[in-house]
Amino acid sequence: MMSKMDAITAFYTNQLPDGELKNNILQAPCPLCARKKTAGPGRLIVFLNPDTFFHGYFRCQNRCVPGGFPLYFARLLALNMMNVPGYDPDREYASAGIEYPVKNINSDIQSFMNRMTEEQYDHFSRMEISREVLQEMKIGYNGRYLVYPYIEDDGNCYNARCIHPDRPEDSFWFGDEEFVAERNMVYNMNDIERCENGTLFVVENEDNLLTIKQLGLPGIAVTSPANLERLDAAALNWLTTVFLWANNSNESQSAARSLATRLGFKARLIRWPEHTEKNYSLVGLSTDLGKEFQQTAFRLIKESRAFSPFASPEKEFLQFRDRLQNESGDAYRTMQSGFTRLDQALGGIHGINIVGGTPKAGKSCFFIQIATEMARRRIPVIYYDFENGRQKIYQRTLCRLSRLSAEQIKNSSMDQDHAGRLQKAKDELRALLPWFKVVTDRKLTPDIMRRHIDFFRHETKNHYTMVVIDSLHKLPFQNLSERRTGIDAWLRQLEAIRDELNVSFLVISELSRGKDDQYDAQPHMGSFKGTGDIEYSADNAMILLSDWNSFDSGPMDERTNSLWLVASREQSPGKIGDYRLDYPYWGFEEKR
């Protein structure tokens, strides 16, 4: 049993007191069967694993009603919506604004259903589609063509698509043809409302959707790749996740990617296995696999990928590894973690934290060390870099993790101990990459940043995100002559993102030179360069000062920087601590 129930699990267990919860699946007598006057009471199954995309999805084994998520369940039982998880009384649904034809074809659909014979049922049986699914979806037969009714939001049918069972390209519309011509027709569109705050599948062609329904899953279908690309993304606004399972053709896959781009972080693309034949579909898969179709389909669903603005962790690692082997000569330094004094001084890294420092003080290394250690603890980190480049960031991290210098990593004849440490560090780097994204896009905008954060939160299922910016003065803005106003505008945006998306920031800033072109020895708010808004925007403003001369030829491992908190919304200003350069690994060690 769960030590603490989430809201959705608690909702269903309260509504189904006779149910049995086992392995995150709740089974109970279906309270909807009696209302539908079915032949016998069915079992209601509710999936309650909060780590899956189907958390809260219910379906009746009798198929007395289509499956759906909590808001749909509550409306079926006429419950008080204020007690339903995810209900938003202020949510404004886009009005379809559809004027339906005066005459419907409901009676025709029933007549077509009655004309189904064993020959037609056998046709679908070869695709592993059951009679129960056909009846639920009101599939019929007109004597020559199979009839697929397109039932509208008002519960009536005004058009049906008639498809020859042996020649799918032979099809026509039955009903009000003008109504069809005016719209991008969506098959089983009522599942969109049933899946509010939940998950929905989008496929091509009606038969492909029937295979999805056979799996007990919700979905809609369109008639062609062109209609898939034109599908109104706004109609899917209130869904949490949308699985796109397009046919295996260039046209279909391109249409799915186009729709995924408009859907954003909620879209997940199901990929066909390598060497799948062209134009393959769900119907082909179910026909070929028979009883094994269900297991294969759920495996492919599990392996689906979000339509990500980032390269995959595998690709990131492979590109890094290949370039690492070809790099030569450059020194890479690593960083140490465990900045206890910094966390005590700030009470943790929260809000907007801006750090200024003199050139070559190690600000970037300081931030890389913090960011990668947070990623190792599975905290999502997006690192916006305009200074070093992703390859150098990865390489310095590898050096820190392995405790090997750049020269030792590049040594092709390293001893067994060094080789083992290097391989372990590579494994650790590979493991943290899903939680660490490096972005070097110099056309970055606040809207793009928001999309990155939205996607990463959804992908990692984590509401906490750390964003690192290196550096504030190199963020893109339109005109060099507007540099100060551009930086201040970015600070306003960071404040909004912090508040709207629960994001913490680490931001590097430059310092101003004082008299005789020197930097102030005593840190203060006036030391920051190019903007007065840091004083108002930063939750914590810090300065990293070098206690050594860059021309000093003394031992590298004796060089120390001091970190000062010069302004804070909640903490007392003062010296935070001293940080010794951990040579030759490009990290810092906090002095106790």
- pLDDT band for position 530 (cuts 50, 70, 90): low
Which of these, 273, 231, 234, lies nearest to 255 by C-alpha position?
231
What residue ranges in 418-516 does DSSP mark as E strands?
A: 436-439, 465-470, 503-510
Q: Residue 143 burial by CB count (10 A; 0-12/13-18/19+): exposed, middle or buried?
A: exposed
Predicted TM-score (pTM) of the model is: 0.61
Kindly report, residue by residue over 103-153, the tens digit of the pLDDT.
Answer: 999 999 999 999 999 999 999 999 999 999 999 999 999 999 999 999 998
Q: Given this model, what pLDDT does residue 473 score?
A: 86
Kindly report, residue by residue over 226-277, the tens digit of the pLDDT.
Answer: 999 999 999 999 999 999 999 999 999 999 999 999 998 899 999 999 899 9
How far, in Å, CA of 146 to CA of 171, rounded? Answer: 9
How far, in Å, CA of 353 to CA of 468, rounded? Answer: 10
Give 169-177 contacts, CB < 8 A, sequence gap 24+.
170/145, 171/145, 172/145, 174/105, 174/108, 174/142, 174/147, 175/101, 175/105, 176/101, 176/103
Side-chain-side CA neighbours of 398 within 13 Å: the count stands at: 27
Q: What single letter denotes the amino acid at residue 194?
A: R
Percent of the chain with pLDDT over 90: 63
Least confident of 94-98, 99-103, 282-286, 350-354: 94-98
The answer to whether domain 313-590 has CATH 3.40.605.10 is no
CB 243 within 8 A of CB 215: no
Q: Given this model, what pLDDT does residue 152 score?
A: 93
- pLDDT band for position 479 (cuts 50, 70, 90): low
Average pLDDT, the chain: 88
CATH architecture of 106-306: 3-Layer(aba) Sandwich (3.40)
Kindly report, residue by residue over 360-419, the tens digit of the pLDDT.
Answer: 788 899 999 999 999 998 888 999 999 899 999 999 999 999 999 888 888 878 889 999
CB 47 within 8 A of CB 175: no
Q: How many residues are recorded in the chain?
A: 592
- pLDDT band for position 3 (cuts 50, 70, 90): very low
Averaged pLDDT for residues 27-31: 94
Which of these, 357, 349, 392, 355, lies nearest to 373 by C-alpha position?
349
Domain boundaries, the chain: 7-83, 106-306, 313-590
Q: Which residues contact 182 (CB under 8 A, 6 or more apart)?
A: none
Kindly report, residue by residue over 557-591, the tens digit of the pLDDT.
Answer: 677 889 999 999 988 999 999 998 888 787 889 98
- State the Rg of the chain over Cα: 30
Q: Residue 4 burial by CB count (10 A; 0-12/13-18/19+): exposed, middle or buried?
A: exposed
- pLDDT band for position 325 (cuts 50, 70, 90): low
How far, in Å, CA of 374 to CA of 398, rounded? Answer: 15
**Higher-confidence residue: 528 or 300?**
300
Q: For 178, list phi and psi in degrees, rounded to 5.
A: -65, -35
Q: Which residues contact 480 (CB under 8 A, 6 or more apart)?
A: none
